[in-house]
Amino acid sequence: MPELPEVETVRQGLAPFLVGSRILQVDLRRKDLRFPFPENFSTRLEGRRIVALNRRAKYLLAHLDDEQVLVAHLGMSGSFRLEAGTVGTFKFPRSKNPAHDHVAFSLETGVMIYNDPRRFGFMTLAQSSELADHPYFVGLGVEPLSNDFSGESLNQLFAGKSAPLKSALLDQRNIAGLGNIYVCEALHRAKLSPMRPAGSLTEKASDTLARAVRQVLQEAIEAGGSSLRDHRQADGSLGYFQHNFRVYDREGQACVSRACQGTITRRTQNGRSTFYCPNCQS
């Protein structure tokens, strides 16, 4: 699943194409994706101008000139492809098979296609004034790239929690948008074990972890995300942060930390693979 840096990369790539443009026509080529489209989805969008394109956690939010918000989630394999006016490395190419082109947006700036082989993505409409209380957003935690995210906020969030640190970081009720890849990478940079109780962090360790999370996310966004399977940028090019992985998908390889003689290990936590160095992460 695309994580926060991948979704932010898509947002940045689409924004010059979408913001300020009017939606002329919406062609739905099926009645649903993961969920059915809202009633009158196409007609509610047609004629509307996109005034802003934002992100919340792993959601894209296209704000329209009538106070509606088009909410889109890419799911496991969803992508937006620009057929005209493009805005410009996952190991496997992202689908361009027209059989999986499920929605076509005709705009003043060209055509944008939503392609999704697995159809785990979805789209809906919400009112801007009610967005914070929408079921998709009401329970989301702090944005890790916002000013509200810090070592102090981590200490407050994790105080008294016995859950493993990695699980607490992945809990979207605590921090919105963090995913498996970047949590593994941030924990290695912070020299913290994914298994230690979240409530055991000292103030110093919390500060170090907050800086590591922010650093990893920012570097991944600058690199265009991590192209492991399905993620591509809006212009079709691949992200390349995967070449900077220190632990993720490096089981059995030497730890890259200076003076560390450890070997990267993989274990399963809550059904997900955790990659870490038992030697330098404590």
Residue at 228: amino acid letter:
L
From the candidates 2, 5, 164, 194, give the one annotated as an active-site residue.
2
Could you confirm whether 272 is annotated as catalytic? yes
Residue at 208: amino acid letter:
T
List, in sequence order, every residue forming a beta bridge with 28; answer none if it has no partner.
Answer: 103
Residues of the chain with pLDDT under 70: 1, 84-94, 224-243
Q: What does the alpha-carbon distance between residue 38 and residue 35 come to, in Å, rounded to a whole number?
A: 9
Q: What does the alpha-carbon distance between residue 75 and residue 59 come to, in Å, rounded to a whole number?
A: 10
From the candidates 11, 48, 55, 58, give the one annotated as an active-site residue.
58
Domains of the chain and any CATH numbers? 4-133 (3.20.190.10), 151-276 (1.10.8.50)
For 203, the 3-state DSSP assignment is helix
Q: What does the alpha-carbon distance between residue 139 and residue 268 come to, in Å, rounded to a whole number?
A: 26
What pLDDT is recorded for position 94? 57
Residue labelled with tokens 């070997």: 263
What pLDDT is recorded for position 9? 86
From the candidates 3, 6, 8, 185, give the one annotated as an active-site residue.
3
For 21, the 3-state DSSP assignment is coil
Q: Are strands 23-28 and 101-107 parallel, antiparallel or unpaired?
A: antiparallel
Q: Show the beta-strand stretches assigned E in the chain.
A: 23-28, 50-56, 59-64, 68-73, 79-82, 101-107, 110-115, 122-127, 265-269, 272-276
Q: What does the alpha-carbon distance between residue 219 and residue 240 come to, in Å, rounded to a whole number?
A: 10
Q: What does the alpha-carbon distance between residue 126 and residue 41 come to, in Å, rounded to a whole number?
A: 11
Q: What does the alpha-carbon distance between residue 237 and residue 88 come to, in Å, rounded to a whole number?
A: 9
What pLDDT is recorded for position 227? 36
What pLDDT is recorded for position 224? 63
Residue at 20: amino acid letter:
G
Could you confirm whether 3 is annotated as catalytic? yes
Q: What does the alpha-carbon distance between residue 236 and residue 38 come to, in Å, rounded to a whole number?
A: 28
From the candidates 49, 118, 214, 272, give the one annotated as an active-site residue.
272
Q: What does the alpha-carbon distance between residue 86 and residue 165 come to, in Å, rounded to a whole number?
A: 41
**Longest distance between any two alpha carbons in the chain, whole Å:** 61
| Cα 254-257-261 angle, rounded to 5 deg | 50
What pLDDT is recorded for position 177? 92
The CA-atom distances, in angstroms, between 180 and each of 27, 168, 198, 248, 276 are 34, 12, 16, 9, 12
